[in-house]
Amino acid sequence: MAKRSAGGYAAMKKRVFDIIQIGNRNDFPSRFFDYFIVTAILLNICVAFLDTFDGLSRFFTLFTVVEAVTVSIFCVEYAARIWTADVLYPDSTPGKARGRFLILFDGVVDLLTILPFFYLSGFIVFRMLRVVRIFRLFRINAQYDSFNVIKSVLVEKRNQIASSVFIIVILMMASSLGIYSAEHNAQPDTFKNAFSGIWWSVSTLLTVGYGDIYPVTVVGRIMAILIAFLGVGVVAIPTGIISAGFVEHYTKKQHDHEKLPDIKEVGEVLVDEESPFRGLTVAEAVEVYQIRLIVVLRDGLTVLPAGALTIKTGDILVINSDRIEKKKQRH
């Protein structure tokens, strides 16, 4: 009886976990909970904005009630996520699993969006963090959501991005020292030291150009022109790297999801000296023998069967063996 009770408790916890996680399209309660939480988030954010309009003072009581209700919903959700943390981390003990969730990004955001209502009423910006949860529901496709795509690209291109940021920092320091040397005597109050030129160098390199600090000497203006041109290229470097990363990611994703014809049976063919495939290109082998070549195993590597690829002795061809049997039967 105790085992049955423990099993029921574990099943109930697992069910609650499935519901409060990102919704499964085939699970109505889970999808409904997602929409319900999004609605609560939007209401909470709207109330935070509307509460700043003095002209809506007659609705402030309603706003307070809506905020209290939505925060109560967030508290229940937060408690449920803590309770089901051991399902999220099955390899940890319940205590460690809950500790991991509390320091997780989602756990910290949940806490920071709840605390302001009770203790930090002056820090309304914490409530805005709740909007982060919305973006978890916008998926690029069935397997990856938008934030995971961004994270993958940034992680994959981290070395190139770090190099470009390093170049920006070096140029920023050099331009700051240069503009100080050129403008200090003409504008001692504006360019008091090298650090004073950092604001100008940042706004110029990043092509913002606020105009609150600007050079007045001929040398300073020539330097500003050169730095402005450099800024266009400097900003383009990390932008190009990240854009290329997104293109590569989606291109790879597209190839991964290309629909292949039905493969009833998959077989391997070793290409030896007497093999009819030896010396043929993939395109020729496919055309002559009416097979579908899936992949080529060569020297321990997996090679994509490009049309111009020449089949060599020792290659292992992974093909649709069902079609080979049909070919044999014809002959």
pLDDT of residue 7: 65
CA–CA dist 329, 316 (Å, integer):
23
The length of the chain, given as a count of residues: 331
Cβ neighbours around 127 below 10 Å, total: 25
pLDDT band at 250 (very low <50, low <70, confident <90, very high): confident
CA–CA dist 276, 319 (Å, integer):
15
Comparison of pLDDT for 139 and 3, the residue scoring more: 3
pLDDT band at 310 (very low <50, low <70, confident <90, very high): confident
C-alpha separations of 237 from 152, 184, 248 in Å: 19, 31, 17
255-305 tens-digit pLDDT: 554 444 444 566 778 888 778 888 888 888 887 777 788 888 887 777 878
Res. 198: pLDDT tops 80: yes
Comparison of pLDDT for 257 and 95, the residue scoring more: 95
Residues 6 or more apart whose CB falls under 8 angstroms from that of 293 comprise 282, 285, 286, 305, 317, 318, 319
**Highest mean pLDDT: which range of 116-125, 153-162, 254-263:** 153-162
Q: Provide mean pLDDT across the span 7-16.
A: 79
User: What is the phi-psi region of residue 319: left when phi exceeds 0, alpha when psi lies from -120 to 50, beta otherwise?
Assistant: beta
CA–CA dist 275, 289 (Å, integer):
12
pLDDT of residue 215: 87
CA–CA dist 132, 113 (Å, integer):
10
pLDDT of residue 325: 47
Sign of CA pseudo-dihedral 98, 100, 105, 111: positive
What domains are defined for the chain? Answer: 2-137 (1.20.120.350), 158-256 (1.10.287.70), 266-330 (3.30.70.1450)
256-261 long-range contacts, Cβ below 8 Å, gap at least 24? 257/141, 260/294, 261/292
